[in-house]
């Protein structure tokens, strides 16, 4: 891999991923174990694993010592990799919301911002990237009942800030399947739902958004799988990641065989859903009845 530092969106997460991937390849090429690498920088084997997965920040001294261990002596190559350390340690925008964004979701925000394609299946609510401010506020209130008004608003701010990806010049392409039940669930009341349905119709016309609805009565795959997102990256060295959100945490799936199962599930969901045109017809019908 020699693809530089990566510039998608803020880029912090993708830079960490690329640097970690490069360090893993260099280590394996020299036949060095994670345990030996950890010993070299006074760290555990598990920390080396987290570094190679891009899930922790990097210390320039540690990376320099590892490069020496891995036999990297070319000054230009060392300079390039060490400059990636500084870029990978930059502070992303969501750190300003650390009081309302848990660590496990901060990881997702990084993946989301680095993704070239985001594919998702949603069962209960409209996807966060497609929510109106009023709908987002209603959803946040449901999930954080009793929270102070200021906290609610900061959570909504995060959701709206994420949506800037949809209009960014280098933003991702979005493929989403929404269960019809989510569109019929009266979240926030009648006017909020009318605004949300109108917003979805407008978004569905954007070239980078493909919106499909899984109609009620479909008792196949949709009945056995929960909501999930599949994030694919522009950088060929970064494998796709599946994100599974739970009540107080999240699961990230990146093993190729498991990811392939989700890819297959998503393809079947899209095949069983209404196409974009018929989905827009259903949205207009729901809007008229709202």
Categorise residue 146: left if φ over 0, alpha if ψ from -120 to 50, beta otherwise. left
165 and 66 fall within a common domain: no
What CATH number has the domain bearing residue 218? Answer: 3.30.870
* Interatomic CA distance for residues 230 and 259, integer angstroms: 8
272 and 150 fall within a common domain: yes
**Final residue of a structural domain among 88, 112, 144:** 88
Q: Along the 290 residues of the chain, how does pLDDT read in single tens digits?
A: 333 323 334 468 788 888 998 999 999 999 999 999 999 999 999 999 999 988 888 999 999 999 999 999 999 999 999 999 988 888 889 999 999 999 889 889 988 988 999 999 999 999 999 999 999 999 999 988 889 999 999 999 999 999 999 999 989 999 999 999 999 999 999 999 999 999 999 999 999 999 999 999 776 555 466 899 999 998 887 889 999 998 889 999 989 999 999 999 999 999 999 999 999 999 999 999 87
164 and 222 fall within a common domain: yes
Total-model pTM: 0.82
**DSSP, residue by residue, 241-266:** EEEEE-SS-EEEE--HHHHHHHHHHH
Burial of 245 (0-12, 13-18, 19+ CB in 10 A): middle
Indicate whether 180 belongs to any domain: yes
What CATH number has the domain bearing residue 16? Answer: 1.10.260.40
42 and 160 fall within a common domain: no
* Interatomic CA distance for residues 262 and 225, integer angstroms: 10
**Under 8 Å CB-to-CB from 190, ≥6 apart: which residues?**
290
Burial of 48 (0-12, 13-18, 19+ CB in 10 A): buried
Indicate whether 268 belongs to any domain: yes
* Interatomic CA distance for residues 30 and 274, integer angstroms: 52
> Contact at 8 Å (CB) between 111 and 13?
yes
57 and 122 fall within a common domain: no
204 and 79 fall within a common domain: no
Strands (E) located in the chain? 115-122, 173-179, 209-214, 228-233, 241-245, 250-253
Domain residues for 135?
A: 100-289
27 and 129 fall within a common domain: no
Burial of 3 (0-12, 13-18, 19+ CB in 10 A): middle
């Amino acid at each position: 891999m020699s693809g530089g530092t990566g510039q998608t969106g803020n880029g912090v997460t993708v830079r960490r991923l690329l640097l970690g991937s490069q360090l893993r390849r260099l280590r394996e090429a020299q036949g060095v174990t994670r345990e030996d690498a950890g010993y070299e920088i006074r760290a555990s084997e598990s920390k080396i694993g987290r570094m190679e997965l891009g899930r922790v920040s990097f210390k320039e001294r540690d990376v320099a010592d590892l490069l020496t261990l891995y036999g990297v002596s070319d000054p230009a190559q060392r300079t390039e990799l060490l400059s990636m350390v500084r870029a990978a340690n930059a502070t992303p925008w969501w750190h300003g919301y650390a009081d309302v964004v848990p660590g496990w979701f901060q990881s997702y925000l990084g993946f989301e911002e680095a993704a070239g394609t985001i594919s998702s299946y949603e069962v209960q609510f409209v996807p966060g990237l497609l929510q109106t401010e009023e709908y987002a506020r209603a959803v946040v209130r449901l999930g954080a009942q009793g929270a102070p008004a200021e906290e609610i608003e900061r959570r909504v701010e995060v959701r709206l800030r994420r949506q800037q990806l949809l209009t960014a010049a280098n933003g991702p392409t979005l493929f989403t399947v929404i269960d019809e039940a989510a569109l019929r669930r009266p979240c926030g009341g009648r006017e909020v739902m009318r605004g949300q349905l109108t917003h979805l119709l407008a978004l569905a016309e954007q070239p980078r958004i493909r919106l499909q609805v899984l109609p009620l009565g479909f008792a196949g795959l949709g009945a056995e799988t929960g909501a999930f997102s599949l994030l694919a990256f522009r950088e060929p060295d970064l494998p796709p990641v599946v994100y599974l959100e739970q009540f107080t945490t999240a699961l990230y799936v990146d093993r190729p065989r498991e990811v392939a199962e989700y890819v297959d599930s998503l393809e079947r969901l899209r095949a069983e859903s209404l196409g974009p045109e018929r989905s827009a017809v259903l949205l207009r019908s729901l809007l008229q009845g709202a």
